[in-house]
């Protein structure tokens, strides 16, 4: 099958959406499918207001459509709700080409936090954008229920996985960890306002706080919380070692629909502390972490969990199964519906 994935989120961005799409592409290709990623780096773009690391593609629907038609895609998937996918959506609808979409982030809350616009306004856009899709691929049961409550009933499951060769309890911890006061409380992800990172940094619990990642809020937070260890982005074995060497993984976000970093931490044997919101409520079990409206309480509870139980649970998340769910959710394009490239 030839699968066209259109996405506004792609390298050099480092986030869960990009990592998911990269891994799914590799899985699909290993199964014998051909995947074409249509991303902002292929076109002229401008920086996103308030978030310059994100590039917004400037492209007409016909141009994106020509790329899809030239590929002669058997299925089209729109991964995000930004301008590039919006152009692809217009082209698909105009030509009667079926497509699927995905809901990766609580976009209404995300936009509301960054712009001050009421989330209810953004939900109107979400319903409009995803409504014509043959299926909306969603990672967890609670988010599928939320989308149904907002009038989107064409939802399908699409879970996430872990690279179990890289993320293990045996990963060597960073050289700096033995010198830190225990317990080591770890955050991994974007350092940005929508991640609610300040809730973690302000949490009243003894020990050391470590932040892995980068983003627009890093400079301000480093000044405000000088005792926190901001180590920047880590990848591969270094990232796995940070997970395995920490005593608890803290996930303060209230806007993620899943939280890939949580299952990576669990696979490394590290329990999770989080708020009881969508994402954590679908992933964290009483045996593998703690959820509370007071993040300090959640951290204290998570520290009592058995690391072996966390690792065993984390090993249950498979990228192969995720790829098969993605394939099951796609909608094949009838050959008569795919226009020929000009």
Could you tell me if 47 and 131 lie in one domain?
yes
Query: Are residues 121 and 83 both part of a single domain?
Result: yes
Question: 80 to each of 65, 102, 124, 245, 262, how far by Cα in Å?
Answer: 16, 7, 16, 34, 22
- Name the average pLDDT for the chain: 92
CA dist 84 and 104 (Å) reads 16
Q: Cis check for the bond before 198: say yes or no (omega within 30 of 0).
A: no
Q: In the prediction, which pLDDT does 112 show?
A: 66
pLDDT at 194: 86
Which residue has tokens 């796995």?
240
- Position 183 scores a pLDDT of 98
Q: Are residues 149 and 223 in the same domain?
A: no
287 secondary structure, DSSP code:
T
In a domain, 328, yes or no: yes
User: Which residues constitute the domain of residue 263?
Assistant: 177-316
What pLDDT score was predicted for residue 313?
A: 98
342 within a domain of the structure (yes/no): no
The tokens for 197 are 């990172």
What pLDDT shows up at residue 50? 63
Asked whether residue 136 is assigned to any structural domain, the reply reads yes
Q: CB-based burial of residue 34 (10 Å sphere; 0-12 exposed, 13-18 middle, 19+ buried)? A: middle
pLDDT at residue 291, as a whole number? 98
Same domain, 250 and 278: yes
176 by Cβ neighbours in 10 Å (0-12 / 13-18 / 19+) ranks as: middle
Distance, in Å, from the CA atom of 30 to the CA atom of 26, rounded to the nearest integer, reads 6
Q: How far apart are alpha carbons 221 and 196 in whole angstroms?
A: 12
- Tell me, yes or no, whether 281 and 332 share the same domain: no
Residue 243 has a pLDDT of: 98
Q: pLDDT digits over 109-124, tens only?
A: 766 666 677 778 889 9
CATH at residue 220: 3.40.50.2000
In a domain, 36, yes or no: yes
Digit-coded pLDDT (tens) for 188-226: 999 998 899 999 999 999 999 999 999 999 999 999 999
The 10 Å Cβ neighbour count of residue 293 is: 9
The verdict on residue 171 lying in a domain is no
What tokens appear for 9 in the block? 């989120």
How many angstroms separate the CA atoms of 21 and 233, rounded? 19
Are residues 25 and 69 both part of a single domain?
A: yes
Taking a C-beta distance cutoff of 8 angstroms, is the pair 260, 20 a contact?
yes
Q: Whole-angstrom Cα distance, residue 13 to residue 76?
A: 22
* Strands, sheet with 155-157, edge to edge from the N-terminal-most edge strand: 34-38, 2-6, 75-78, 100-103, 135-138, 155-157
CA dist., res. 307 & res. 178, Å (int): 19
Shared domain for 29 and 103, answered yes or no, is: yes
**What total of structural domains would you count in the chain?**
2
67/83 same-domain check? yes
**Co-location of 155 and 232 in the same domain:** no
Tell me what pLDDT residue 52 has.
66
At how many degrees (to 10) do helices 307-314 and 260-267 cross?
Answer: 120
Please indicate, yes or no, whether residues 129 and 224 belong to a single structural domain of this protein. no
Looking at the structure, do residues 182 and 140 belong to the same domain, yes or no?
no
Contacts for 242 with CB less than 8 Å, ≥ 6 apart: 173, 174, 186, 188, 210, 212, 231, 234
- Calculate ∠ Cα 87-21-147, nearest 5°: 70
pLDDT tens figures, 125-150: 999 999 999 999 999 999 999 999 99
Write out the chain's pLDDT in tens, 342 residues: 999 999 998 988 878 899 999 999 999 999 999 999 999 989 877 777 666 667 777 899 999 999 999 999 999 999 999 999 999 999 999 999 999 999 987 766 766 666 677 778 889 999 999 999 999 999 999 999 999 999 999 999 999 999 999 999 999 999 999 999 999 999 999 999 889 999 999 999 999 999 999 999 999 999 999 999 999 999 999 999 999 999 999 999 998 888 999 999 999 999 999 999 989 999 999 999 999 999 999 999 999 999 999 999 999 999 999 999 999 999 999 876 777 665
pLDDT at 207: 97
H helix and E strand count, the chain: 14, 14
- The confidence score (pLDDT) of residue 298 equals 98
In a domain, 172, yes or no: no
Asked whether residue 51 is assigned to any structural domain, the reply reads yes
The C-alpha atoms of residue 320 and residue 342 are separated, in whole angstroms, by: 36
Q: What is the pTM of this model?
A: 0.85
In terms of domains, do 135 and 203 share one? no
Cα–Cα distance for residue pair 5/137, rounded to 1 Å? 13
Residue 170 lies in a domain: no
Please calculate the CA angle 117-120-121 and round it to the nearest 5 degrees. Answer: 60
């Amino acid at each position: 099958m030839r699968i066209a994935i259109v996405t506004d989120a792609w390298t050099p961005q480092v986030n869960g959406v990009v990592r998911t799409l990269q891994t799914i592409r590799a899985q699909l290709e290993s199964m014998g499918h051909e995947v074409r990623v249509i991303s902002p780096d292929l076109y002229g773009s401008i920086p996103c207001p308030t978030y310059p690391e994100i590039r917004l593609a400037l492209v007409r629907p016909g141009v994106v459509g020509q790329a899809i038609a030239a590929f002669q895609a058997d299925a089209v998937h729109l991964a995000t709700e930004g301008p590039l996918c919006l152009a692809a959506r217009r082209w698909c609808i105009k030509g009667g080409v079926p497509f699927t979409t995905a809901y990766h982030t609580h976009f209404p809350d995300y936009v509301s936090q960054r712009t001050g616009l009421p989330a209810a306004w953004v939900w109107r856009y979400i319903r409009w954008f995803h409504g014509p899709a043959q299926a909306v691929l969603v990672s967890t049961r609670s988010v599928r229920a939320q989308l149904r409550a907002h009038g989107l009933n064409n939802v399908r499951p699409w879970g996430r996985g872990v690279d179990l060769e890289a993320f293990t309890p045996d990963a060597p911890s960073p050289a700096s960890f033995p010198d830190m006061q225990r317990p080591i409380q770890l955050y991994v992800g974007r350092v940005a306002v929508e991640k609610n990172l300040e809730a973690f940094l302000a949490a009243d619990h003894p020990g050391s706080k470590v932040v892995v990642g980068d983003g627009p809020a890093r400079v301000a937070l480093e000044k405000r919380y000088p005792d926190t260890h901001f180590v920047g982005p880590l990848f591969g074995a270094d990232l796995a070692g940070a997970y395995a060497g920490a005593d608890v993984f803290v996930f303060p976000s209230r806007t993620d629909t899943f939280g890939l970093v949580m299952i990576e931490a669990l696979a490394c044997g590290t329990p999770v502390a989080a708020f009881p919101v969508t994402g954590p409520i679908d992933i964290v079990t009483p045996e593998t972490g703690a959820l509370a409206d007071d993040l300090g309480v959640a951290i204290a509870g998570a520290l009592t969990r058995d690391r072996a139980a966390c690792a065993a649970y984390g090993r249950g998340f498979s990228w192969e199964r995720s790829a098969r769910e993605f394939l099951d959710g796609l909608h094949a394009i009838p050959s008569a519906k795919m226009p020929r490239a000009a």
